[in-house]
Amino acid sequence: MGRFEFDKYHKRIREGPCLFCSLANHDVDVTQEHYLYEDEFAIVVLDRYPTQYGYSLVFPRQHVEQIFLLDTETYLRLQAIVHKTVKAVQLATGAERVYTACLGSQLLSPHIHYHVVPIFPGLPLEDQQWNALDKSRGVLKYSEQTFSEVATKIMYAMKKIAGEDKDHF
């Protein structure tokens, strides 16, 4: 585990354009991201600062700041993609559980985004649940090769799931 450089990250998020809109637009400063899935409605990427192997983010393409502003149909459409991402991450990584949490902050990154966070057998209880998402406790330092490998595994799992379920992906 390595230290997460909060100050640098928060400065970029606060002072730059919306991170998730930048990801949706494939802007220049996010070209190093690993996209796992995208369609006209939503996008899935690997988290660049993962606390767990396979940590992914799901967000709507449109800049939406509150779940309560979504109509039910749109909310459920987003949930369906979160659900498929959970299944793909589990299949790709062999996780024993996969957490989801819709976070965001008006002070930092208001564009709604779901954290999809796998945890693995043997993870101590004190590192599970909320602590599994807490980047201040340290983040995994992947090589680019490892990022590419996990991205490939999750994308492969998404395709496999799509073959079994024609309704999504």
User: What residues line the site for Zn ion (CB under 5 A)?
Assistant: 18, 20-21, 63, 111
Q: Which is nearer to Zn ion, 18 or 123 (CB)?
A: 18
CA nearest to 105, candidates 65, 63, 70, 57: 65
> Shortest distance, CB of residue 105 to Zn ion, whole angstroms?
13
> Shortest distance, CB of residue 130 to Zn ion, whole angstroms?
25
Q: How far apart are CA 127 and CA 39, in angstroms?
A: 34
Q: How far apart are CA 103 and CA 4, in angstroms?
A: 18
Q: Which is nearer to Zn ion, 20 or 142 (CB)?
A: 20
Q: Which is nearer to Zn ion, 20 or 55 (CB)?
A: 20
Q: How far apart are CA 63 and CA 40, in angstroms?
A: 13
- Strands in 22-138 per DSSP E: 35-38, 42-46, 56-60, 97-103, 113-119
Q: Which is nearer to Zn ion, 22 or 131 (CB)?
A: 22
> Shortest distance, CB of residue 16 to Zn ion, whole angstroms?
11
> Shortest distance, CB of residue 19 to Zn ion, whole angstroms?
7
Q: How far apart are CA 15 and CA 165, in angstroms?
A: 41
At residue 16, what is the residue type?
G
